[in-house]
Structure 1
Amino acid sequence: MKVLSKSEWTILTLILVYSFIPTFGGLFRVLEFVGGPAIAPDNPRASATPFPIVLHILSSFMFCLLGAIQFLPSIRRQHPAAHRAFGRIVAMAGCLSAGSGLWMTHFYSFPISLQGNLLYWARIILGFLMICFIVWSVIAVRFRNVFQHSAYMLRAYAIGQGASTQTFIGIGWMIFFETEMTGPLRDATMVFAWALNLLIAEVLIWAILAPKRQSVVRVLSENPSGVGQ
Structure 2
Amino acid sequence: MTTTALRPRTPTRTRRDWWIPASLLALTFVPAAAGAARLVDLSSGRTAENARFFDLPLPILVHIFGATTFCLLGAFQFMPSFRRRRPGWHRWSGRILVPAGLAGALSGMWMAAFGDLPVYDNTALMWFRLLFGSIMVVGLVLGLVAIRRRDVRTHQRWMARAYAVAQGAGTQALVLGPMVFFVGQPSGTLKASGMAFAWVLNLVVAEWLVRRSQARQPRRRV
5+ long unaligned stretches in structure 1: 221-229
Task: For 2:34 and 2:126, locate their aligned partners in 1 and report how far apart those are by CA, in whole Å.
Answer: 23
SS at 1:82 equivalent: helix
Q: Pick the aligned partner of 1:104 from 93, 103, 111.
A: 111
What is the correspondence of 1:153-164 to structure 2 with a 5 Å cutoff?
153-164=159-170
Alpha-carbon shift at residue 136 of structure 1 (Å)? 0.5
**Normalization by structure 1: what TM-score?**
0.84
5+ long unaligned stretches in structure 2: 1-9
Q: Pick the aligned partner of 1:140 from 122, 129, 146.
A: 146
2:216 aligned partner? 212
Q: Pick the aligned partner of 2:43 from 34, 45, 48.
A: 34
Q: Pick the aligned partner of 2:195 from 190, 197, 202.
A: 190
Task: For 2:61 and 2:99, locate their aligned partners in 1 and report how far apart those are by CA, in whole Å.
Answer: 16
Structure 2 counterpart of 1:19, which letter? T
Alpha-carbon shift at residue 187 of structure 1 (Å)? 0.9
Task: For 1:24 and 1:60, locate their aligned partners in 2 and report how far apart those are by CA, in whole Å.
Answer: 12
Write out per-residue CA displacement over residues 48-69 of structure 1, whole angstroms, 9 at most, x where no aligned residue.
3211111101111001010111
Q: Pick the aligned partner of 2:171 from 161, 165, 174.
A: 165
SS at 1:137 equivalent: helix
Q: 1:74 to 1:47 in 2, by over 3 A?
A: same
2:75 aligned partner? 68
Structure 1 counterpart of 2:200, which letter? A
Structure 1 counterpart of 2:41, which letter? E
Structure 2 counterpart of 1:12, which letter? P
SS at 1:191 equivalent: helix
SS at 2:150 equivalent: coil
Calculate percent identity across the aligned residue pairs. Answer: 36
Q: 1:3 to 1:175 in 2, by over 3 A?
A: same
Q: Is the 8 A contact 1:3 1:75 kept in 2?
A: no
2:205 aligned partner? 200
Indicate the RMSD between aligned Cα atoms, in angstroms.
2.4
Q: Is the 8 A contact 1:3 1:74 kept in 2?
A: no
Task: For 1:200 and 1:130, locate their aligned partners in 2 and report how far apart those are by CA, in whole Å.
Answer: 15
Determine whether 1:175 maps to 2:181.
yes
Q: Is the 8 A contact 1:140 1:149 kept in 2?
A: yes
Determine whether 1:22 maps to 2:28.
no
Alpha-carbon shift at residue 35 of structure 1 (Å)? 4.3
Determine whether 1:8 maps to 2:17.
yes
Structure 2 counterpart of 1:16, which letter? L
Q: Is the 8 A contact 2:27 2:167 kept in 1?
A: no
